[in-house]
Structure 1
Amino acid sequence: MISEHVIDADGARLAATVVRAADPGPAVLLRTPYGRHQHLAEAFGWAKRGFTCVVVDVRGRYGSTGEFLPYAHERADGRVALEWLRDNDFCDGRVIAVGASYAAYCAVATALEGQLAGVIAAVPALGLGETAREPGGAARLACRLGWWSEHGGTSVARTTPLDHDLEALPIRDSLDVPGWSTLWDAPPLSPLWTELSEVDTPLLAVGGLRDPFLRHTLRLADTWRGPTTLVVGLWGHNLDTTQALGGKRIGALYTAWARALHATPPTSTPTPNSWVGASSRFVGLMRDGCALSRIKPTKREFSADPLRPFPSRDVGVDLRCDADRTDRALAVTDELGGGVLAGLVRVEIDAVADAPDADWVFRLAVELPDGTWPQLGHAVERRRHTPGEPTTVTAEIGPVGFEVPPNARLRLEIAGHHWPRHARNPHTGVDAVDATELLSSRREVRSCAVELPWTTAEPVDVIKEVAR
């Protein structure tokens, strides 16, 4: 049965759609800025499996009144929605907050405001600063311009996003919507992180190897105090999981975890269960097989020109498409014996730049015996420099998940830009989002070392593991 409701919040009325299960029991709360009716199929799926599902438009979006200010009201409104849900007879008091992307933030914020039975946070976009910049400080560009041009300053998604130019300078002035300029002044970590280590609620954190916010998914799992299950697979922000999960959608993983949660409520805080997808399979993520290798760069010097920036590519893309680029350093391993790489690849270089501020981009690919070079992962680190003086730059690529066949080699490219996924560093010392002048930068990579996370773990069925 489906019904429509209004939840009174401070200064707003929140529109909610309830899809009831056959009998009262645990409920699922999903708050979204993307239109609650877009989630009806998901809601009916939960109800079919015994969980009444309540889908709420966040403040200022679609059927809810008020002003939509990203990340501003989700904590307080989550408390109101949770209290309203528990006052209804279709819920027995047990509530799981669920969401992906922005909705995952809504679920996490609700856990700080009231007792929940569980939280499912998939490919979470966990705050202004967290989505604006990489942990290493580099400014994201394409995904931020795309999201804000579609959703910023409007109560419904624009069918035609606002005009925006990826090359326009300064980036801070490229859109005229509320919150866009202040986005770039947000701290790297929002205040909620200081409280997450005190949350006892069980958590299912789902990240994708192709998701731009993967590192914060890992941070969430590491920070969370309650029993935590971390699942990382070969999918992107849109959770295209059918290949990696043997033809099953992400909902199969959610419901397996939720059913197991209510069948055997956790009484302790176990070590997080972690998986990384390798091809279409899953392997246990182990940390007992790391190997440190020093790789002699075969090309040491290059020029990073923001007027012809080094391109960004997705995980899995064959990097032979950039084989003719000379604006990067290159280090290639000897032929390998084969195995599974699963986890973070740590890189350390000794390098020189002639600019006071520089981005260091690391792209890792595997040169396969069939001649292809699929990208395994990347990292971007922004560093202040004393021009012309050597400095050490460290980075963590990934995590990666790949079955490396015998006789393959790893290929590490080191560049100065990663565009359009990230803003172009101007090499003037000015923040990339405020720059109006772009200068070229000379670089030299003097030495390079990588730590590879080899594992011998066997493939497992993740859904069955989560349901145990």
Structure 2
Amino acid sequence: MRTVRVHGLATDLCIPDGAGPHPAVLLRTPYDRRRHRPELRAWAAHGFAAIAQDVRGRHASASAGPWRPYRSEVADGAAALTWIREQGWSDGRVVAVGASYAAHCALAPLLDGDGDADGDGDGDGVADGYGHQRRPDAVIAAVPALGGGEVAREATGVERLSARAGWWLEHGDRADSDDQALEQALRDTPDLLDRLPVTGILPLASWPGVWSVPRDEGLWKRAASARVPLLAVGGSRDPFAVETVRLWRSWGGPARLLLGPWGHGLTAAPAREARPEHRLDLGSLYARWAREALAGTLDGRRGAIALGGSAHWYAADAESAHPVPYRFGHSAGLRLVHGAEFVADPLRPVRSDRLDIDEHGAPDRCLLVTPPLPRPLDLLGDAGVRLVAATEGRSADWAVRLVALRPDGYAEPLATGIARTTHGPSQERELTVPLGRVARRLAAGVRLRVEVAGHHFPAHARNPHTGEDPVTATRLLPSRRSVRMAGSALLLPVVHRPAAIDPVQEILR
């Protein structure tokens, strides 16, 4: 293991034993390349030259220029790829790898907006006139946090608040990282996330700019033009699970999806519903997949998804194509507990970090429950809620939370979604709130609880109900809501005994 400077950026290099040249693996990260030294050694043991680089402005690359998240990775990533291919130990082939922001770094040279940089229509990215490829030959993107606008807001436009504040405090306007920064800030200032405007809650120069970055509407079109192999890895409990699946679905080249019952840390962060069969050796799988990808033996689009609460993995195409509706206000579907009419008050918002409900006070949400399940229920695919609803004011957020109520009294969140709509005065309208990916087996006796609210705070910023931008608003007003039972339904991706698969075989074939 040795450390070099590549265009001013601190770079660790681990070359395998034996005669070269070797294929290479490139990992670019803002989270300190030194954390990945065991990973580099493992790649080298599998015959890959392994490179980890601190991105510009971070850790040992702090002197190379300012840290501007999401702005330098295309050029710096392309430069690193060119440098690798110029080295005597390199056989010219490079696999870009990374998780979270590092997955963005891996994908950035491929999805940089150039489209076909060399103009020959094949998406290979030969662009510098010297035969040097500016883009990787294959990509492993785990829990990908793609783009500044994409991580700041849901696809529906609603602002992600606590996650963005936490990440910016921990990694934003600084060269190092402090994983306890948000926790310490909340100890010092318990009402930090309640303060207004949102753009002023953090004393960081770059914080207001987080909310001015638009979503990249061309991202998925560019993904469709990619031709190199992709392995997209995610967790059904990860906040970027929807983006992980969408990346796999959109990809134009050979694509594999691995989605387990994990959080953002993947196998190091198993969900409660994970089973021993979900403890995969991801490092070994990555190395085997990289060999197959560089050999050109992969084609098509395949995937393996674990069903949490069971021991099984299923093929991604086993998902339910036709969600089953559970009708609101129906005795065999979702019985109304209270709140067909309720008040969404941003001064007393429904909280994302609590599952308890006061059923005796004035309703702050519409609350519904199913009867106990008569038999186990397998859910695999995209869930959602179709609402027929009305509100005061022209702008409203509709937050929906799906919770499993076990017979022992334990409540467990299954899925959450939030959508922003515009309404006329007291105008009733139909809307759909996506709940994202669900991959679960629910035991007999479980009841499903659906909550329809006006806020999901502090995970998401509060809609002020004044028509102002939620990140700059300083005035909050309550909003009366009504949910019509007729026409409203929970849409669940119910599947019936699909064939179980071996996830490793599915990824490598």
1:122 pairs, out of 129, 142, 147, with 142
Aligned in 2, Cα 1:395/1:259: closer, same or farther, shift over 3 Å?
Answer: same
Residue 302 (str. 1) matches residue 342 (str. 2): yes
How far apart are 1:107 and its partner, in Å? 0.5
Once structures 1 and 2 are overlaid, which stretch shifts more, 247-256 or 341-350?
247-256
Show the 5 A alignment for 1:210-229.
Answer: 210-229=237-256
Distance 2:177 2:207 in 1: 16
Show the 5 A alignment for 1:429-448.
Answer: 429-447=467-485, 448=488
In structure 2, the residue matched to 1:322 is 357
Distance 1:335 1:453 in 2: 18
Distance 2:505 2:245 in 1: 22
Residue 402 (str. 1) matches residue 440 (str. 2): yes
In structure 2, the residue matched to 1:279 is 309
Number of aligned residues: 456
Distance 1:407 1:464 in 2: 35
Distance 2:159 2:102 in 1: 22
Distance 1:30 1:191 in 2: 25
Amino-acid identity (%): 41
Give the partner amino acid of 2:367.
L
Q: Which runs of 5+ in 1 are unaligned?
A: none
TM-score by length of 2: 0.84
In structure 2, the residue matched to 1:291 is 324
In structure 2, the residue matched to 1:90 is 89
1:154 pairs, out of 163, 174, 178, with 174
How far apart are 1:312 and its partner, in Å? 0.9
Distance 1:218 1:248 in 2: 19
> Is the contact between residue 305 and residue 439 of structure 2 (CA under 8 Å) also seen in structure 1?
no
SS in structure 2 at match of 1:181: helix
Once structures 1 and 2 are overlaid, which stretch shifts more, 119-128 or 361-370?
361-370
In structure 2, the residue matched to 1:461 is 502
2:10 pairs, out of 11, 15, 25, with 15
In structure 1, the residue matched to 2:224 is 197
> Is the contact between residue 234 and residue 280 of structure 1 (CA under 8 Å) also seen in structure 2?
no
Distance 2:398 2:284 in 1: 39
Give the partner amino acid of 1:406.
A
2:48 pairs, out of 31, 46, 51, with 51
Residue 104 (str. 1) matches residue 103 (str. 2): yes
1:173 pairs, out of 184, 200, 210, with 200
> Is the contact between residue 73 and residue 109 of structure 2 (CA under 8 Å) also seen in structure 1?
yes
Show the 5 A alignment for 1:268-417.
Answer: 268=299, 270-279=300-309, 281-284=311-314, 285=316, 286-288=319-321, 290-296=323-329, 298=336, 299=338, 300-313=340-353, 319=355, 321-322=356-357, 324=359, 326-336=363-373, 337-417=375-455
How far apart are 1:370 and its partner, in Å? 3.3
1:349-369 CA-partner distances (Å, limit 9, x unpaired): 100111221111111122333
1:84-110 CA-partner distances (Å, limit 9, x unpaired): 011112221111100011100011112
1:358-385 CA-partner distances (Å, limit 9, x unpaired): 1111111223333333211100111122
TM-score by length of 1: 0.91
Q: Which runs of 5+ in 2 are unaligned?
A: 112-124, 126-133, 330-334
Distance 1:368 1:431 in 2: 39
Distance 1:220 1:57 in 2: 25
Give the partner amino acid of 2:154.
E
Distance 1:260 1:281 in 2: 27
Distance 1:187 1:274 in 2: 32
Give the partner amino acid of 1:188.
R
How far apart are 1:342 and its partner, in Å? 0.9
> Is the contact between residue 282 and residue 462 of structure 1 (CA under 8 Å) also seen in structure 2?
no
